[in-house]
Structure 1
């Protein structure tokens, strides 16, 4: 698939996992301030159809603050932080009730996951969140993610779900990010003000000129996002090797329509997902610890398999779960680098043990692998 032929239909057809973000303006009935149940049901239908095709989906949904504002009788306009947090707390339950009602007929359990900036930027919490999402998808649930506005502060928050969605796509190794908006894509100027504004269907590279087309952040009605935040999200995704689609979500069957070539904007990834991840891991200048492996484990890592505790013969250094460590073969040669799923003390207790003995040794088990294959980069392969 070349940059010249990159289309939504191609991206969806090739996708294994996708993150769909839908904003408040598409979920709230502007006349009543309550949920637009018809829209919830339409999105649920599309998500179920994608799942039936083998596309695992994660939903990033706004709407809690808007729904909570109505439930608490708070005034229109910008709310002070404490009132916004209160609205989020009251509205999140209503939001999840709507998604559960919409998804239940399709046999898709709605699973709430509230994330903060700290959850996404702290590596250990990132790993915890990623493990939870993987478990939910493995159980055929549909994760519904929102920023945890109840506890997030003004200084440490994303402030819009576009960028949160991009980080979630990166976290769960998605192939595709879809941002459903109240516009059908990117234009050379505001089409509401400039009659001959040119529609831009494909953005191969996000340049400063493209960023300037986003205008001022936060120019949206019910929500907090805008085209500037969507371009920022597309940049995050592109650097992680993930393509982004911006499309109108207010039409009937918004996801199905994408494959019928309705107007939409595609942002190309800057690299492949595997290359972006390998580059990040291999770029760790000073690993926090060293793992020495027996011959069998060393060969398994070379063959592209996860590192199991049974193959670890010695643990050097002090490091926490989620930090980068170096792997050495039996002769001491640097074999690989990886992000460890267990801390140094934990690995010392389970080194040499088979996977079914981990829980007995620790009292819990985070996974069978000391380092998952997706978190390993063999020397010379970065």
Structure 2
């Protein structure tokens, strides 16, 4: 069976401090590794950071841009240079590539999500390696992925990947930052992200001077990807050959075990493609019915409503303590739910004065996340 790999490499691995110029030896090694894997029969997607860092180097800027407009301009300069380097190196190995620039908005609407999915599948069927980055030049704040770790996890979910490799500037996840704490302990396997809390792992959110991510974003990405059934590995970016060794069974990096994969692409879209606009807090009976019984959500199980949303918007379903259990498309507006929360189904029409669906979130439009 052909396996699909998504490989994300961060700015800290692609560039050389302090100026932010390209680390060509690392990029060449990455290109050689991915080309080798492609020729071995794997389907490969590369999610590459670095556009802003490369743009800064070309423009002689010593610090990362702080304003959105300047960052977008610098990204436009850097993206062209970055893809040119990739194209030259991959072409030398006779490996075709494609540039795919995405914003979160491309994954929010169902039709555009399906279009993106079909494009990826056609590229992979053609033997092409798509090189993906956030479209920094046009993305607006409310429709940004925020970091390429999140983008890579969403792409892995979108294409139904088997593996997600997060290449970074440390060799694996540690109990604390090994650059600051000599007593930091390495972590080889994480069966579920919730384990990190019991292990008292200190996950920092500080990235490199040129990057936007830290270990926190990688753990969050692992949570998204494993929730979509994708095995995720955090490993050292300066040695891309480790990917081949890991696929052969070597115990390198930190492995996050995949959870049961959502049954359909639609469920994956609901879980990870949409941007929730509100939250519904549920009582214990509703939580049990959804998690254990596979039931739809009824108004009677809702104890609180948060946010301002309309019919068919995405919402997060939480227990009464705020722990996320699921996501879904809602059949009521927040205004309507404020009136009918906690009510039995037969009482809804008299309260609202018009007929409404029996379910607040139908089970076909609901997927468990347990984040």
Counterpart in the other structure of 1:318: none
Q: Which whole-Å CA distance do the structure 2 matches of 1:213 and 1:276 have between them? A: 33
Report SS of the residue matched to 2:16: coil
Q: Which whole-Å CA distance do the structure 1 matches of 2:116 and 2:50 have between them? A: 22
**RMSD value over aligned CA atoms?**
2.6
Q: Which whole-Å CA distance do the structure 2 matches of 1:33 and 1:234 have between them? A: 27
Contact 1:206 1:235 in 2 (8 A): yes
Pair 1:36-2:16 in alignment:
no
Contact 1:21 1:162 in 2 (8 A): yes
Gaps of 5+ in 1: 1-13, 284-376, 378-382
Pair 1:206-2:185 in alignment:
no
Provide TM-score, normalisation by structure 1.
0.66
Contact 2:51 2:82 in 1 (8 A): yes
Contact 1:103 1:109 in 2 (8 A): yes
Pair 1:174-2:161 in alignment:
yes
Pair 1:214–1:169, CA change in 2 (3 A):
farther
Stretches (4+) displaced over 4 A: 276-283
Pair 1:100-2:87 in alignment:
yes
Q: Which whole-Å CA distance do the structure 1 matches of 2:155 and 2:215 have between them? A: 19
Query: After superposition, where does 1:131-280 map in structure 2 within 5 Å?
Result: 131-207=118-194, 209=197, 213=201, 215-251=203-239, 253-258=241-246, 259=248, 261=250, 263-271=252-260, 273=261, 275=263, 277=265
Shift of 1:274: 5.5
Counterpart in the other structure of 1:27: 14
Report SS of the residue matched to 2:92: helix
Q: Which whole-Å CA distance do the structure 2 matches of 1:202 and 1:239 have between them? A: 16
Report SS of the residue matched to 1:125: helix
Gaps of 5+ in 2: 272-363, 365-371
Contact 1:23 1:63 in 2 (8 A): yes
Q: Deviations over 1:274-324 (max 9, x none)?
A: 5365866999xxxxxxxxxxxxxxxxxxxxxxxxxxxxxxxxxxxxxxxxx
Provide TM-score, normalisation by structure 2.
0.68
Pair 1:257–1:74, CA change in 2 (3 A):
same
How many equivalent pairs are there?
Answer: 271
Contact 1:56 1:137 in 2 (8 A): yes
Q: Deviations over 1:64-88 (max 9, x none)?
A: 0111112233341442111100011
Pair 1:51–1:115, CA change in 2 (3 A):
same
Q: Deviations over 1:50-99 (max 9, x none)?
A: 11221100000001011111223334144211110001101100010111
Contact 2:97 2:131 in 1 (8 A): yes
Q: Which whole-Å CA distance do the structure 2 matches of 1:95 and 1:114 have between them? A: 13
Contact 1:20 1:60 in 2 (8 A): yes
Shift of 1:15: 6.3
Shift of 1:253: 2.5
Q: Which whole-Å CA distance do the structure 1 matches of 2:264 and 2:198 have between them? A: 22
Contact 2:31 2:89 in 1 (8 A): yes
Contact 2:53 2:64 in 1 (8 A): no
Query: After superposition, where does 1:326-337 map in structure 2 within 5 Å?
Result: none
Shift of 1:215: 2.7
Query: After superposition, where does 1:115-130 map in structure 2 within 5 Å?
Result: 115-130=102-117
Pair 1:90–1:210, CA change in 2 (3 A):
farther
Report SS of the residue matched to 1:102: helix
